[in-house]
Amino acid sequence: MTEYNFAYLDEQTKRMIRRAILKGLAIPGYQVPFASREMPMPYGWGTGGVQVSAAVLTPKDTFKVIDQGADDTTNAVSIRTFFQRTAGVATTTATSDATVIQTRHRIPEEPLHEGQILVYQVPIPEPLRFLEPRESETRKMHSLEEYGLMHVKLYEDISRHGHIATSYAYPVKVEGRYVMDPSPIPKFDNPKLGDMAAIQLFGAGREQRIYALPPYTQVVSLDFEDHPFEASKADHPCGMCGATDSYLDELIIDDAGGRMFVCSDTDYCEARQATGHKGKDAA
Amino acid sequence: MQANTLSGGFADPATQSAHAFRSVMEAMARPGTIQDIEGAAPPAPLSPAMGAVLLTLCDTETPIYLAGDMDCEAARAWLAFHTGAPFVGPAQCMFAVGKWDALAPLAVYPIGTSEYPDRSATLIVECSELAAGATLTGPGIKDQATLSLPEVEAFQANRTQFPLGLDFIFTCGERLAALPRSTEVSRSSSEAIAQVGAS
C-alpha cells in the first residue's frame, strides 16, 4: 500500500479530474476536456474509467467492475485488483452491495439506488465523430445544437434496412440540449440512462473527455415519430436462469451451430440461479 | 499568525480530500441536499467547509478571487501555503470566495463560451445558514428540492444562460450545498406547481 498514493493517481491529477467531474455534472451531457494521464494499462482497456474511479473512490467504498456485464473477465478482474491494491477498497460482485461500479458497455440489470456511482469506460465520447471527423467542427455543432446530421444517419439506417439498425452506442439527447454517446452499451440499456437514482460518470482516457449525468436526468433516445426507439434484445429466455427480462449473450457451444443464450449480467444470473430459477440449458 | 497559516490543512490529504470531494460531488449532483464536509481548520473568516472545498479543488492551476472580507492577510497566507493558488480579480477567476453581497455583481465572472461552457467560474458562497427555502427542479432532483438561497432572481437569470453560466457551492460551518447552472429556481412550492401546470 505504501508504494502508491491512495488510488494510484497523484493529488494534483485527482483535483484536475474532480474539477472536470463537477463541471460535467453541472452541464449534463457536455464533454469536458481533461488532461488524461498515462495509466499502467493500454488505451482501450478503460483508462478513462479508471481515472474517474480513482478520483471518486474513498477508502470506505465497495468497488465492483463489470465488462460486458461480467465480473469475471480479464479486464474486470484486473481493474478490480488494481484498486484493491492501490486504494485498499473492498470489492464485490454483487450490484446492490457496491457503492462505485465501473462498467464497460453495460448497465447492471438490477436497478441502482441513491448513493451509488456508475463509472463508464468510453472509447469514443463524441457521438458525431463518425459523421464529422474534425473536432473543431463537432464542437461547433454541439455549441449550435446542430444535430441534423445525426438524424440523417438514423434516417439512412431506415432507408437501407427498414428500421434503425444502430444497436449499440445509440445516441441520446440529455435534458433537451446535448446529444451524447452513452458509450457502447446495447440500446436495450438506453431506457435505464434517464431518471436513474445513481450518479453516472463517463471517462474517455485516450480522447481526454469526461461527461456526466446527475441522478434523475432526462435522457431521450433519438428516434422518429413513425420509427420510435425500441430497446431490443435476443428473443429468448436465459438458458441458465430462465430470465426473460435481461440482456442476453449468444454463445456458440458446438461445431454443429448449436447455441445458447445467457444473461450478460453474471451477477444477475447467478443471483437468480441461487434462488432456484432454472433455464432449459442449466446443468 | 505563522502557526495559524501552516496548520489547519488536511492531515491525510489523499483520503481526506477524497471524502471531501464526495461531499462536494453529491451536493453538485443532487442540488438542494446538504452534505457534511470536514477535515480543514482554516483561519477566520474562512469556514471549515469553505477551507475543505478549497483544499480539495484548488491548486496552482486554479486562480481564486477573494471577495470582500475574505480578502484578508489570514486567508491569503493560508491559501497560498496550502494550495499555492494565484489570487486574481473576478473576471479571471476559476473560483470565487466570499459572502453573497461581496460577490456581486455576477455579470463580471466568466460564464464559459458556447464551445467550452466548462470554462466558467464556480462561486463558493459563505452563508449564515443552510436550510429549506426556494424550490428547485432540474437534473439531479427527483420531483423537487428546496434550499435557502440568498436571493432567487440571480439564479433564475443564471439558468437562462444554460449551457453557459456560473455554478455555486454554499458553505456554512461544516456543511455545504450546491446549485449548478442547470437548476430551475422558484420562490415557493406553489409557484413551482403553477409553472409545471402551464408548460
Query: How many Å lie between the alpha carbon of B157 and the closest alpha carbon of chain A?
Result: 16
Closest listed residue to residue B114, CA positions, set A27, A125, A144, A212: A144
Give A282's DSSP letter: -
> What is d(CA A233, CA A278) in angstroms, rounded to the nearest whole number?
20
* H-type alpha helices, B30-183: 48-57, 73-82, 100-103, 153-160
> What is d(CA A81, CA A20) in angstroms, rounded to the nearest whole number?
26
Predicted confidence at residue B1, as pLDDT, reads: 53
- Banded pLDDT at B163 (limits 50, 70, 90): very high
Known catalytic membership, residue A241: yes
Restricting to B residues 26-65, those with a Cβ less than 8 Å away from any Cβ of A are 26, 28-30, 56-59, 61-62
Q: Which of A3, A4, A21, A58 should we substitute to test contact with B (largest number of B Cβ atoms within 10 Å)?
A: A58
Closest listed residue to residue B56, CA positions, set B93, B86, B14, B99: B14
Q: Which residues of chain A have pLDDT under 70?
A: 1-2
Q: What are phi and psi of A52, to 5 degrees?
A: -65, -45
In angstroms, what CA-CA distances link A184 with A107, A121, A190? Answer: 11, 9, 10
Cell numbers 465492483 correspond to what residue?
A: A64
3-state SS class at A174: strand
In angstroms, what CA-CA distances link B130 with B36, B97, B137, B138? Answer: 11, 17, 18, 20
Residue B62 grid coordinates: 486554479
Neighbours of A238 (CB within 10 A): 30
| Residue A90 parent element (H or E) | strand A90-91
Predicted confidence at residue A281, as pLDDT, reads: 87
Q: Which of A24, A46, A205, A241 is catalytic?
A: A241
* H-type alpha helices, B30-137: 48-57, 73-82, 100-103
Q: What are phi and psi of A128, to 5 degrees?
A: -95, 0
* Every domain of chain B and the residues it spans: 3-198
The residues, any chain, with a CB within 8 Å of residue B17's CB and separated by 6 or more, are A11, A14, A15, B10, B39, B55, B56
The answer to whether residue B191 scores a pLDDT higher than 80 is: no
The residues, any chain, with a CB within 8 Å of residue B198's CB and separated by 6 or more, are none
A233-283: in CATH 2.30.170 = yes
Model confidence pLDDT, tens digit, residues B12-50: 999 999 999 999 999 999 999 999 999 999 999 999 999
The residues, any chain, with a CB within 8 Å of residue A261's CB and separated by 6 or more, are A234, A236, A237, A238, A239, A248, A249, A250, A251
Give B70's DSSP letter: G
Predicted confidence at residue B193, as pLDDT, reads: 54
> What is d(CA B43, CA B40) in angstroms, rounded to the nearest whole number?
10
Give A46's DSSP letter: S
* H-type alpha helices, chain B: 2-6, 13-29, 48-57, 73-82, 100-103, 153-160, 189-198
Q: What is the DSSP string of A96-121?
A: GG-SEEEEES---SSPP-TT-EEEEE
What is the mean pLDDT of the segment spanning B184-188?
89
Pairing of strands A62-67, A90-91: parallel
Peptide bond into B105 cis (omega under 30): yes
> What is d(CA A118, CA B153) in angstroms, rounded to the nearest whole number?
34
Known catalytic membership, residue A269: yes
Q: Which of A48, A238, A242, A279 is catalytic?
A: A238
Q: The whole model's pTM is what?
A: 0.95
Model confidence pLDDT, tens digit, residues A61-91: 999 999 999 999 999 999 999 999 999 999 9
- Banded pLDDT at B189 (limits 50, 70, 90): low
So what's the architecture of A11-221 in CATH?
Answer: 3-Layer(aba) Sandwich (3.40)
Sign, CA torsion A91/A112/A106/A252: positive
**Quick check: B199 contacting A, CB < 8 Å?**
no
Cell numbers 490543512 correspond to what residue?
A: B9
Known catalytic membership, residue A238: yes
* Every domain of chain A and the residues it spans: 11-221, 233-283
ipTM, two decimals: 0.95
Model confidence pLDDT, tens digit, residues A120-155: 999 999 999 999 999 999 999 999 999 999 999 999
**Quick check: B115 contacting A, CB < 8 Å?**
yes
B3-198: in CATH 1.10.10.10 = no
Predicted confidence at residue A4, as pLDDT, reads: 86
Query: How many Å lie between the alpha carbon of B95 and the closest alpha carbon of chain A?
Result: 11
> What is d(CA A228, CA A222) in angstroms, rounded to the nearest whole number?
8
Restricting to A residues 63-122, those with a Cβ less than 8 Å away from any Cβ of B are none
Residue count of chain B, please give it.
Answer: 199
What is the mean pLDDT of the segment spanning B134-152?
96
Query: How many Å lie between the alpha carbon of A159 and the closest alpha carbon of chain B?
Result: 33
Kindly identify which residue of chain A lies nearest to residue B59, measuring between CA atoms: A12
Cell numbers 490529504 correspond to what residue?
A: B13
Predicted confidence at residue B199, as pLDDT, reads: 47
Closest listed residue to residue B97, CA positions, set B45, B154, B133, B132: B45
- Banded pLDDT at B4 (limits 50, 70, 90): confident
Predicted confidence at residue B195, as pLDDT, reads: 54
Known catalytic membership, residue A46: no
The answer to whether residue B197 scores a pLDDT higher than 70 is: no
Q: Does B17 sit within 8 Å of A14, measured CB to CB?
A: yes
**Quick check: A25 contacting B, CB < 8 Å?**
yes
**Quick check: A24 contacting B, CB < 8 Å?**
yes
Kindly identify which residue of chain B lies nearest to residue A216, measuring between CA atoms: B140
Predicted confidence at residue B105, as pLDDT, reads: 95
Kindly identify which residue of chain B lies nearest to residue A209, measuring between CA atoms: B118
DSSP count for chain A of H helices, then E strands: 7, 12
> What is d(CA A190, CA A96) in angstroms, rounded to the nearest whole number?
20
3-state SS class at B126: strand
Using an 8 Å CB-CB cutoff, list chain A residues near B30: 214-215
Q: Does B21 sit within 8 Å of A56, measured CB to CB?
A: yes
CA angle B180, B146, A192 (to 5 degrees): 65
Q: Does B57 sit within 8 Å of A11, measured CB to CB?
A: no
Burial of A278 (0-12, 13-18, 19+ CB in 10 A): middle
Using an 8 Å CB-CB cutoff, list chain A residues near B115: 139-140, 142-143
| Residue A83 parent element (H or E) | helix A74-86
